[in-house]
Amino acid sequence: MPEKRYSILLLGCGHMGNAMLRSWRQHDLPITVNVVKPTPIREGIDHYAPRLDALPDTQTYDVVILATPPQIADKAMAGLSNYLHAETLVISVMAGKTLAHLNTMLGGHDPIVRVMPNMPSSLGQGICGYVTSSTLNAVQQSRLDTLLHATGVAIALQHEDKINIVTALSGSGPAYAFLLIKAMADAGVALGLKDEQARLLAMHTVAGAGQYALQTGQSAEELLSKIAIKGGTTEAALKVLNTDDAFGDLLNTAIRRAYTHAKESG
């Protein structure tokens, strides 16, 4: 039996809030969405308020999404506990703000879920990791699963610190792919291709390689052994990237730096 309509309060609606909202609407979920944001959102919402205290003071919500920049989160959440009922599921997509901190800011409310999604969530092609402050009841878990799976794949984590790893690996990860696309396209242009030709070749190559890896389910090592034929052009290129493991070491260092920054921001 499908669940009856439930209410969502989306506190903040920047890039990530908008990405989730678009995915929910594309899946036609049984939700009513109120957005609190300084500037209006034109599509995908049922009600809009420019600030939290502009909401009806008798209204509570079944799910609250915390999607403000972490730097202004504490100010934005002031008074939010007035809009929670005992069973409200609070979901934070903010980097850095710990479960303990959020629990304090919300007057001891539980449960709270920390989620780290990524940019492709807006297309339903994202992946996220999440951790909960306590065990969710069946309704809360069902709502969490529905909301997250509408944006892509969701992975449950056992320890909160793992969120910082997810932040560094997949949260920031699209930027690494975009940088790879740019570098490949720049190389193509330098060798004589037109800008648009090089850009399309680079984008489709990176996107297609990801889809191929997902659909075959093979490891990166297996895929590399298939494509890098001995004495071939791919092997020649990989010898440059793999000299002293330069490519792997550089990316490992970058991800570790992102992880450290995410951890320190908490």
Tens of pLDDT, residues 35-63: 998 777 766 777 878 888 888 878 899 99
- Is it the case that residue 222 has pLDDT exceeding 70? yes
Domain 173-265 class in CATH: mainly alpha
**Could you report the per-residue pLDDT of 64-94, keeping only the tens digit for each?**
999 999 888 999 999 999 999 999 999 999 9
Overall CATH class of domain 6-162:
alpha beta
DSSP labels, the chain:
-PPPPEEEEEE--SHHHHHHHHHHHHTT-SEEEEEE-SS---SS-SEEESSGGGS-TT--EEEEEE-S-GGGHHHHHTTGGGGEEEEEEEEE--SS--HHHHHHHTTT---EEEEE--GGGGGT-EEEEEEESS---HHHHHHHHHHHHTTEEEEE-SSTTHHHHHIIIIISHHHHHHHHHHHHHHHHHHTT--HHHHHHHHHHHHHHHHHHHHHH---HHHHHHHHS-TTSHHHHHHHHHTGGGHHHHHHHHHHHHHHHHHHHH-
Domain residue limits, the chain: 6-162, 173-265
pLDDT-based confidence at residue 22 (cuts at 50, 70, 90): confident
Question: Does residue 249 surpass a pLDDT of 80?
Answer: yes
Mean pLDDT of 189-201: 98
Check if 6-162 and 173-265 are the same fold: no
Q: What local confidence, expressed as pLDDT, does residue 53 receive?
A: 84
- Evaluate if residue 1 carries a pLDDT over 60: no
